[in-house]
Structure 1
Amino acid sequence: MSNISGFSVSKPVALWNKPIKADFKELFKSLGKGVIDGVLGKWEEVAKDAVEATAALGIATAPEEVAWLLIYRSLVEAIVSLVKGNQELLFAEPNQSDFELLCDRLNHSLESIELHIDQDFFSRPKDLPILEAIKTAFADWLKYFSVNQAQALTISHRLPTYFVYALHEEWAKHPEKYACLKEELDTPFTQANEREQSCQRYLAWLQKQVDEPMFLEAFGLKQVYVPLHAYYKQKVGGEKEEEFERRMREDEKYQRIVLDLETELEAWLEKGDRHDAIRVISGGPGSGKSSFVKIFAANQAEKGKIPVLFIPLHHFEPSNDLVEAVGKFVRDDTSLRHNPLDKHKADSRLLIIFDGLDELAMQGKIATEIAQQFVREVQRKVERFNVRETCLQVLISGRELVVQANSSDFRQPQQILHILPYFVTEDERKNYIDDQKLLQQDQRQIWWQKYGNASGRGYDCLPEELNRNNLTEITAQPLLNYLVALSFDQQKKFPTDGNLNAIYANLLTAVYQRGWADHQHPAIHGIEEKDFVRILEEIALASWHGDGRTTTVREIEAHCEHSSLKSLLDKFQESAKLGVTRLLTAFYFRESGVKEQEKTFEFTHKSFGEYLTAKRIVREVRLIHKKLKDRQNDPDEGWDEREALKRWAILCGASPMDEYLFKFVADEIRLQNASDVSNWQQTLCHLIAFMLRHGMPMERLNPRSDFQEENRQARNAEEALLAVLNACARVTKTVSKIQWHTREAFGIWISRLQGQRINTYAHVFCLNCLSFLNLQGCVLVLKDFFGVNLEGANLVQANLVQANLQGANLQGANLAGANLQGANLEWAILYEANLEGANLQGANLEGANLEWAILYEANLEGANLEGANLEEANLEGTILEGANFDGENLEDLNEGSDSDSDE
């Protein structure tokens, strides 16, 4: 090993009497030509040309020359990558002579810089002095292409992170070219073996992820990220465990303790308790959980104390053995050369971050089942690895519903951390214990200031136009707040009702106008906005029919062909395939791997796909209604019911709808004309009645699947019919009058849709879609309606004997004459419900809300009303013999009940 501690490095001027030009003029000219020619997917060729035109790698032999060429080539790759990632922001063909002068000037400002390479360089490559000078020159070059000052600085400031990653990549690709540096410099970088180098490359990649551009912006996540707050639930003492677990209103028995999320998790890592090695982050769509875990992974990688493995679960194939599954992910999706969980190669400490527990649902099994299996396998492996000391810690993020469904597996104190929004109103703060006063801070103001600086739009706080109470819920959520900013910047107006779909619609218009309305974007020429949106809907549908987030060009083409959109695809310049690829890379997609030897693309955020899929579903409802109406008016026109149901099965059969997609469907329907929604409601009622009599026409699908698959798809399509009907009813607030052909028909159908619960906390989607439904006279004996939503439903004379309605929402429901004998209505909401003449004999109404309920002549003999709220309830003529009350709700009883009750 050489004793030289370092050496000066400058651009080589000549070697063996042959000129070696390693100037930046050619680089800037090559990049400029790439922008002017619109090379799009050919930036790798630009990088290659720039390097080969300016640096003869095969000639350099002296360490200082080799070091310079390593640095230069890495800089080229970094700068090209930055330009490629921000190509949508670069416009205007520069004046050739002016551009030559600019390149000369930029090169002159850099050519005299001399570098000194020593042991510290490879430990802290971001501190390389030339980077500051190149950042300035690069920013000047960007401004020549109509990039504003703030954007140019934002892009150029990302250069060091990109350079470090490119340095690792270049060293790994051409180790033989830089062998002499290993002898000259004794650093962990230069002396690392192949495994260590792959780890260094991977950690550099993690740090680069948070610097990559967001959407069509110049900045990355890191530039606008605001540290998140969270809370954990702490049980309040004083109640027996079995009683506590039995009650529906659990939250009333918890304290919510507020904390800084990153500080909490760093303390957890530092403590390294082998008995407390799993943490879970829970949050809704767009709450910032994925952004947080990316930032956390990058920060831990930069600190270098504990190796980090980041696994997006929509790229992960779970199996019965976690070690094998991680090994496959590492081989297919990372630069690592070893499985960090392999017992023969494992690190002494490892943090694995699994992002998106809910995304495991798209693997062909029941969502809750596969998530539960995964969680338990993680627990088993963590226990095995941590037998003697803490070797493995795991952080899991997921949407609220899937975390809640697995909450019984997470019982350690502070194990589940619930993400809080940017802003919590003063009234809501009363629900939290916030010793650090974190909730007093309105983090929206910080975000908008960062956004204003990074984008050059000059915001120093949340604009007054958006600082309204009816928009608080939206602007307080990280993703939605950002979409608000994009929409507001383009249109300087905003929907006042706070409908999320209106925000997304504004965003689509803003994006289209931003780059494509004047056909400046080469991806779309001659395509109108409505066609642009229509294509995106079909892309979203292809993703939903797949794994929920990713798709391929082939699948998109197939969907467009089936939906008669081939003519739209033909409007793309060059081949349709290249056109689709351009669209995907220009909109909110990114390449995500390979599927069946074809590149896959994924939505940058799952909510974009859900919104566009919802639009596609509502479009189909409109079309079905029109076609059925056409057939009524002319038997030679339109569709019959079987054709309509076939179309629906094709649209909604491949994948089940869930609460998140349903919310977008409901919001989209709210944006429609009220009379149209009322008509759709009637049409869907008719289709459901026809379907229950004749079945889903799965035999009409081509190609046909086997019976089991057809049955699965039919069930999904039927549930989607019910859900969309319910979305319409929630808008009209009128009862959906389905003509059940037998009294048992609904009960049989809902049992088929409902299936078997995996556990007590498992969410059953279809049971949330029964509000405003006509169930008059239906037989629902012993039905599992735990947590069901029957708000506003017509249950007159329905047979609900011994049905489980624990925690049910029956607000405003009509239960007149219904038989609820022995039914479990514990903690049910019966506010303003009509129970006139209902049989509630022996029913359990403990803790139920019967405020303003009509119990006229109802039979409550032997019912349990302990803790029930009977305020303003009408109990005239009610039979209360043997009913069980506590002392408090006796005071709420009206006069006129037939008998005294037993206390």
Structure 2
Amino acid sequence: MTQYIYQRHTTAMSNTSGFSVSKPVALWNKPIKADFKELFKSLGKGVIDGVLGKWEEVAKDTLDGVTALGLTAVPEEVAWLLIYRSLVEAIVSLIKGNQELLFEKPNESDFEELCDRLNHSLESIELLIDQDFFSRPKDLPILEAVKTAFADWLKYFSVNQAQALTISHRLPTYFVYALHEEWAKYPEKYACLKEELDTPFTQANEREQSWQRYLAWLQKQVEEPMLLEAFGLKQVYVPLHAYYKQKVGGEKSEEFERRVREDEKYQRIVLDLETELEAWLEKGDRNDAIRVISGGPGSGKSSFAKIFAANQAEKGKTPVLFIPLHHFEPSDDLVEAVGKFVRDDGFLRHNPLDKDKGDSRLLIIFDGLDELAMQGKIATETAQQFVREVQRKVERFNVRETCLQVLIGGRELVVQANSSDFRQPQQILHILPYFVTEDERNNYIDDQNLLQQDQRQIWWQKYGNASGRGYDCLPKELNQDNLTEITAQPLLNYLVALSFDQQNKFPTDGNLNAIYANLLTAVYQRGWAGYQHPAIRGIEEKDFVRILEEIALASWHGDGRTTTVREIETHCEHSSLKSLLDKFQESAKLGVTRLLTAFYFRESGVKEQEKTFEFTHKSFGEYLTAKRIVREVRLIHKKLKDRQDDPDEGWDEREALKRWAILCGASPMDEYLFKFIADEMCLQNASDVSNWQQTLCHQIAFMLRHGMPMERLTPRSDFQEENRQARNAEEALLAVLNACARVTKAVSKIQWHTPEAFGIWISRLQGQRINTYTDVFCLNCLSFLDLQGCALVYKDFSQANFERVNLKGANLAGANLGWTNFEGANLERANLLDANLAEANLERANLLDANLQGAYLPDAILVGANLQGADLRWTNLEEAYLEGANLEGAYLDGANLEGAYLEGTILEGTILEGKNLADLNEASGSDSDK
């Protein structure tokens, strides 16, 4: 029998001590075998039993077996134990993370032969454990051999060549993480190695080891599989471009600043995002220690934050702490909040911001500023308080030298709302899409020619290599103008790729919801129906989607991303889905949870002693929530109609409003969710949407007369909470009505019971603006409304959307209508006395006989507008765009038309009193014959 072989020696080249370790062959004949053959056989069994949730047992049995071999405490055997256990943990973690890709049970005899062959290829490999191993554990020679064997093993389970290689290539990263975890979990077992080997790893103190362990975790994060794929983010990541706004040079008058549009005051300077932030880190200016990354949903903010954190941590110049803000509890003191986060996270044993025990230099990356919104306060208020606390602490830490730098990422709206707090040059960096069209490039200063590159081509080539699908560029079927907006965004481009690869009918109309729906079906067919395990038979696709909608709703009602099983159960009971949930959960207990977590949500922590789950992509939760809301609209319409047909059936208006309050009262709607609702409406039958529009008009009219029936909700909340939920539900009614109208293009005719009813209601929904930059969501949902004769005196409608609104005879005297969109609106005989319409869009609006006396319209767009008989006396129309407008019979006495654009304007019969048409043409600078 081969004897156990090891040899102490000195490496001549490096003068470092070490020892050679080979597998203790003689010991494999003990009852519990832990050789590679048994490992691969156990893992093969685990692939089948893993569907039943037995992965932990497989790993435990294997590791217990090698621990029970009776190895002595000599360093060589202890080192082998450390390596073997770490390898097992890494391999098990990789298989568990890609389990949905492993389907077929191999032929037993063939599989036995494979395991023999793999074991034989590995058993004679000698390991050298020296200083270099712990400084570069990824370079351990056995890893290459195990990677090859592991890839061969994976192919036995219907994993293709590219997938097998992709999964096995991630083994070194997983091994390093497992190594750190194993060392941290059982330090007493490996104490002898500290005495034998003098390396930064073995001799590191507790703090250094915790940072090393955290670095390994950051590295593993970017290697973890994406959705239902074998590859991780790192394999397909494309470096992002961004821009910052630089004020237009030169001294400008106050009049210029007032009159020029905000965007026109700035130049957009393009840069490489990672290069810019690395230079910022290297410079370490204590007066410029905060940077902000702004981008829309799916723009790549979080992906960049993870990649940047892993890269900077690996360089080792500055410790990096990555904090997803939906896992962070902000408080009045940032130091305490960070301390709680690292304690809960479990990697660091010290608070890196502690003044006595903290680190001398630190980079904190806060990801998801918008996700601080759901902590019991208004979103913008919570984010603003957090930003200012970060600024205070950064100033305190950096009094003498730069100790703390902070990178914050968030969606555009919440960053914009806090932009007044970020005044340093280049402080806010706006992420650019993968592709900027040639026309759009004129809006940027791009000295490095970064925008010449179509990064979609690079991404698709990487995706083709990682997935084994062979793409070398963006497929021509997807390289269409109407899909540019979607394929240019990182997340949406990836979802397009997944949907395109399923060989289903691909939606080419650019509707994101259609792509999500296509992908949802593909995932169900691939992961559920395709596997045909007895545990998941009987769960139909419609039930699969329905439960996911309820999970999304529970998340929306919570913090926007996370939820618990208890919250899901509560929502399902309210929606009469308890029996379906029971069937679903029974399947989940048998292992289907992994399929869900691979794409939809993952475990994210503990809340009130319950595990929490979060959507891996917030936008997918928003899509499912939108589907749930549209489903409820359909149901409300049906139930109200049933009651009309039979008084013993269906619901009355109060019951329908109660259901709506339960659905939409807990959380306010925002533009991101609204966009999904509007897109979902576009996918419905047009006649259905038209009927829903009328039903919602009726419900709003009923609600305004009788109020939201909050007293019907159980359990009842206090008045303040009921009032808050009622307001949210009312705003959602308006928003969903507007989504219907955008599809039908028909005016929504609500029966306002008094002229002031709409004005009172919109004031309640609108609330108070926090600053001039704040967009008010409900004001974007006013298009296609019938507001004929409404009293809206002095209302604040700045930046509102009044497209195609009927405001005939409405009283808007003194109203703030600056930057408002009135395109195609009917303002016949409307009273706009002294109203502010600066830069308003009144293109093709009907202003017949309207009273605009003293109104303020500089730079307003009145192209093609009908101003016949309008009273424009003392109106400021300076530099207004009046091309093709009809001013026949209008009153222009005292009007300011300096610089106005009047080409093609009809001025016949215009009443000027003291001016003639020649004067008017001269004032406007027009040479055309009027």
Q: What TM-score bracket applies, with the shorter chain setting the length? A: over 0.9
Letter in 2 for 1:681: Q
Secondary structure of the residue aligned to 1:230 is strand
Distance 1:415 1:706 in 2: 43
Aligned-pair distance for 1:572?
3.4
Q: Deviations over 1:1-41 (max 9, x none)?
A: x9962111112245899799552112111111111223553
Letter in 1 for 2:778: C
Greater mean alpha carbon deviation, residues 615-624 or residues 98-107: 98-107
Distance 1:95 1:358 in 2: 52
Distance 1:564 1:152 in 2: 43
The partner residue of 1:5 within 9, 13, 17 is 17
Whether 2:276 is the aligned partner of 1:264: answer yes
The partner residue of 2:696 within 684, 708, 724 is 684
| Match of residue 405 from structure 2 | 393
The partner residue of 2:911 within 884, 898, 901 is 898
| Match of residue 464 from structure 1 | 476
Q: Cα 1:766–1:578, aligned 2, differ >3 Å: closer, same or farther? A: farther
Q: Cα 1:33–1:321, aligned 2, differ >3 Å: closer, same or farther? A: same
Distance 2:27 2:899 in 1: 100
Q: Would you say the 8 A contact 2:161–2:468 is kept in 1?
A: yes
The partner residue of 2:219 within 195, 203, 207 is 207
Whether 2:501 is the aligned partner of 1:489: answer yes
Aligned-pair distance for 1:93?
1.1
Aligned-pair distance for 1:243?
4.7
Aligned-pair distance for 1:685?
0.3
RMSD of aligned residue pairs (Cα, Å): 1.9
Q: How does 1:502-581 map to 2 (within 5 A)?
A: 502-520=514-532, 524-572=536-584, 574=586, 581=593
Q: Cα 1:33–1:823, aligned 2, differ >3 Å: closer, same or farther? A: same
| Match of residue 765 from structure 1 | 777
Paired residues in the alignment total 902
| Match of residue 646 from structure 2 | 634
Distance 2:874 2:108 in 1: 93
Whether 2:788 is the aligned partner of 1:776: answer yes
Greater mean alpha carbon deviation, residues 879-888 or residues 747-756: 879-888
The partner residue of 2:38 within 16, 19, 26 is 26
| Match of residue 827 from structure 1 | 839
Aligned-pair distance for 1:257?
1.1
Letter in 1 for 2:375: Q
Distance 1:858 1:17 in 2: 101
Whether 2:767 is the aligned partner of 1:755: answer yes
The partner residue of 1:251 within 248, 260, 263 is 263
Aligned-pair distance for 1:854?
1.0
| Match of residue 927 from structure 2 | none
Distance 1:576 1:443 in 2: 39
Q: Deviations over 1:60-117 (max 9, x none)?
A: 3111111111111111110000000000001111122221111111111011111111
The partner residue of 2:727 within 715, 719, 732 is 715
Distance 1:387 1:518 in 2: 61
| Match of residue 41 from structure 1 | 53
Q: Would you say the 8 A contact 2:103–2:531 is kept in 1?
A: no
Whether 2:798 is the aligned partner of 1:786: answer yes
Q: Deviations over 1:352-397 (max 9, x none)?
A: 1111111111112111111111111111111111111111111111
| Match of residue 809 from structure 2 | 797
Aligned-pair distance for 1:492?
4.7
Letter in 2 for 1:300: Q
The partner residue of 1:290 within 302, 323, 329 is 302
Secondary structure of the residue aligned to 2:611 is strand
Q: Would you say the 8 A contact 1:525–1:573 is kept in 2?
A: no
Q: Would you say the 8 A contact 2:564–2:610 is kept in 1?
A: yes
Letter in 2 for 1:698: M
Greater mean alpha carbon deviation, residues 717-726 or residues 272-281: 272-281
Aligned-pair distance for 1:570?
3.3
Q: Cα 1:16–1:221, aligned 2, differ >3 Å: closer, same or farther? A: closer
| Match of residue 855 from structure 2 | 843
| Match of residue 197 from structure 1 | 209
Whether 2:140 is the aligned partner of 1:128: answer yes
Q: Would you say the 8 A contact 1:499–1:667 is kept in 2?
A: yes
Q: Cα 1:579–1:654, aligned 2, differ >3 Å: closer, same or farther? A: farther
Secondary structure of the residue aligned to 2:291 is strand
Whether 2:194 is the aligned partner of 1:182: answer yes
Distance 1:558 1:743 in 2: 42
Aligned-pair distance for 1:799?
1.0
The unaligned stretches of length 5 or more in structure 1 are: none
Letter in 1 for 2:173: T
Q: Cα 1:200–1:245, aligned 2, differ >3 Å: closer, same or farther? A: farther
The partner residue of 1:703 within 698, 715, 725 is 715
| Match of residue 737 from structure 2 | 725
Q: Would you say the 8 A contact 2:813–2:831 is kept in 1?
A: yes
Secondary structure of the residue aligned to 2:392 is helix
Q: Would you say the 8 A contact 2:50–2:591 is kept in 1?
A: no
The partner residue of 1:651 within 649, 658, 663 is 663
Greater mean alpha carbon deviation, residues 318-327 or residues 37-46: 37-46
| Match of residue 686 from structure 2 | 674
Letter in 2 for 1:694: H
Distance 1:562 1:830 in 2: 46
Q: Deviations over 1:290-338 (max 9, x none)?
A: 1111111111111111110001111111111111111111111241111
Q: Would you say the 8 A contact 2:882–2:900 is kept in 1?
A: no
Aligned-pair distance for 1:47?
1.2
| Match of residue 447 from structure 2 | 435
The partner residue of 1:661 within 673, 676, 687 is 673
Q: Cα 1:393–1:571, aligned 2, differ >3 Å: closer, same or farther? A: same
Distance 1:89 1:580 in 2: 13
Q: Cα 1:794–1:511, aligned 2, differ >3 Å: closer, same or farther? A: same
| Match of residue 3 from structure 2 | none
Greater mean alpha carbon deviation, residues 866-875 or residues 142-151: 866-875
The partner residue of 2:339 within 324, 327, 336 is 327
Q: Would you say the 8 A contact 2:550–2:571 is kept in 1?
A: yes
Q: Cα 1:82–1:635, aligned 2, differ >3 Å: closer, same or farther? A: same
Aligned-pair distance for 1:576?
6.9
Q: Would you say the 8 A contact 1:570–1:576 is kept in 2?
A: no
| Match of residue 5 from structure 2 | none
Aligned-pair distance for 1:59?
3.0
Whether 2:319 is the aligned partner of 1:304: answer no
Distance 1:348 1:826 in 2: 52
| Match of residue 604 from structure 2 | 592
Q: Would you say the 8 A contact 2:51–2:592 is kept in 1?
A: no
The partner residue of 1:425 within 418, 434, 437 is 437
Distance 1:465 1:207 in 2: 35
Q: Cα 1:253–1:687, aligned 2, differ >3 Å: closer, same or farther? A: same
| TM-score, normalization by structure 1 | 0.97
Distance 1:50 1:241 in 2: 76
Q: Would you say the 8 A contact 2:28–2:34 is kept in 1?
A: no
| Match of residue 92 from structure 2 | 80
Letter in 1 for 2:323: I
Letter in 2 for 1:898: I
Secondary structure of the residue aligned to 1:91 is coil
Q: Would you say the 8 A contact 2:82–2:182 is kept in 1?
A: yes
Distance 1:635 1:496 in 2: 45
Whether 2:359 is the aligned partner of 1:347: answer yes
| Match of residue 740 from structure 1 | 752
Letter in 1 for 2:464: G
Q: Would you say the 8 A contact 1:340–1:346 is kept in 2?
A: yes
Aligned-pair distance for 1:246?
3.9
Aligned-pair distance for 1:519?
4.8
